[in-house]
Structure 1
Amino acid sequence: MELVLLSSDLEAAFADFYHDFVNHDPENAGFYQQGTENFSAYVQQLRDEEKGINLPEGYVPCSHFWLIENTVILGAIRVRHHIENDFLALEGGHIGFDVAPSYRGRGYGKKMLKLVLPKASELGIRNALITADEDNIASRKVIENNGGIFENVVKGKVFPEPIARYWVTCDC
């Protein structure tokens, strides 16, 4: 099991990952739909985003990693290089992650976050803000199991649900 950058040789695995969301968590499938429309352009967009190239307004440079095992994508995790805008500083945080619906509850979120913390440290992030919906107990446990220190619950401006905010030390 390892964290990798998305590449052309993972197109079939990505399609399976996307369809897992479509079939079991359609509310979040849209985040990955673009990758099914033009995979090579999607991969390039993620690489550009990491370099800060062609960022939409309000976006910051962001590194995208994929947890894979035997060419199966188990999850995706993003590290935003900084949180210097109102949305990220309050709601979005430095790190966001998704475990493929069919692989949830098996510890992959915990493992994925553990593996990405040194990468965040390499980007100069010493303490990462990580958020989760207040009622998303699974995500909150992933954060807490990686040393997350609960700060508070806030009401989001973009996402109106209560959001639990945690700080995690990245110097592992």
Structure 2
Amino acid sequence: MKLNCKRIDFTYTPGEEIFNFPEESGLPFIFDVEEELTGDPAAMDAVGEMLDEAEELAEKAKAAIQGALADEDSPYHSLVTYFMQFHRDDVGPDIAAELFPGSDPAKLSFAEMVDFLRLKRFGSLVDDEMDQQVFIMDLSFNPEITDELLVVYFDSNQEIFCITHES
């Protein structure tokens, strides 16, 4: 089957998981879709639509992270604060300099650090709790240096419903 997507010409096999690295897909990030969804044409149409807007969704995710940093009452405040603090203060000055090129990491605010996050992976799966299709984005400062991720979950209406920290 062919993915209904404007940004890439992509063929997949229904019922088989999609997991492609950038050199395979031509995308600047890992692209994956759970096998359960590849057999559902409507779900795959949603994947194509969301994939066409991946960078815009990443910017929306970054704005949500900045919002969580600014709002101490946010359920994600401590999680994103810890993630930023770890990468600025706990990794050591040489690694921090590599993560935040062209800046003095010690002087960066956590909100400024969000601009350095990059989309590492875009995918879709069926959320067991919600029993519906969701979209996930892994954001990283530099996957060559750190395996720590902020993972942002979107529903089919492009609304963020969860942010987690994974490694």
The question of a shared fold, defined as TM-score above 0.5 by the shorter chain, is answered with: no
TM range, smaller chain: under 0.3
What TM-score results when the alignment is normalised by the length of structure 1? 0.25
What TM-score results when the alignment is normalised by the length of structure 2? 0.25
Bigger Rg, which one: 2
